[in-house]
Amino acid sequence: MEQNEDDKRYLERNEDILSHAMDQFFHSGPFSELMQGFQHLVNSAFTEAQVTIDVREEPSGLAVDISVPPTFRDGDMLVETKGCYLHVTIRHDHKQAHSSHVSSSMTRTVVLPYEVREEDMETSWNEHTLTIFLPKK
């Protein structure tokens, strides 16, 4: 029994050493700087490209508010429903300096609480928000 306890303490000590070494590797030195730079790049690239989708259940159906980021407001938007799923795709084409063509797009899928029919969908636009109303069957 005493041997098992010694083995257990030895393994725990080695696990602590390994955990400390991993922390040192990932949180200091060149690798950490690389990861922080990458995280900053990702955060800054997507700050203006966030789409929020708010689903509200009302007595007569579902109201869905989709906020569209400024960079996509002049683009195309495709909204589809299939069963209990709402698919929203936003695309924006623009030219950058030196006449290179850049296309950006994002897609979000939301699970709705019940099945809806796309044919019954009603939409309205208010500055930066698309509101979709999907009546109950």
Tokens standing for 25?
């590797």
3-state secondary structure the chain: CHHHHHHHHHHHHHHHHHHHHHHHHHHCHHHHHHHHHHHHHHHHHHHCCCCEEEEEEECCEEEEEEECCHHHCCCEEEEEEECCEEEEEEEEEEECHHHCEEEEEEEEEEECCCCCCHHHCEEEEECCEEEEEEECC
Residues 100 and 127 in one domain: yes
What pLDDT is attached to residue 126? 87
**b/e burial code for range 4-27 (CB count within 10 A of at least 16 → b):** eeeeeeeeeeeeeeeeeeeeeeee
What pLDDT is attached to residue 45? 54
For residues 68 and 130, the answer to whether their CB atoms sit within 8 Å is: yes
Residues 31 and 76 in one domain: no
Under-70 pLDDT residues of the chain: 1, 25-29, 31-32, 35-49, 71, 73, 94-100, 102
What pLDDT is attached to residue 128? 82
Count structural domains, the chain: 2
Residues 75 and 129 in one domain: yes
- Is the pTM higher than 0.75? no
**């636009």: which residue's tokens?**
125
Residues 66 and 127 in one domain: yes
Residues 117 and 65 in one domain: yes
CATH number at residue 108: 2.60.40.790
Residues 30 and 93 in one domain: no
Tell me the one-letter amino acid at 8.
K
What pLDDT is attached to residue 133? 94
Residues 56 and 26 in one domain: no
Domain that holds residue 12: 2-46
Residues 109 and 77 in one domain: yes
| Cα–Cα distance for residue pair 2/43, rounded to 1 Å | 52
Residues 40 and 57 in one domain: no
Model confidence pLDDT, tens digit, residues 17-34: 887 777 776 666 676 677
What pLDDT is attached to residue 26? 64
Residues 42 and 57 in one domain: no
Residues 23 and 58 in one domain: no
Residues 8 and 41 in one domain: yes
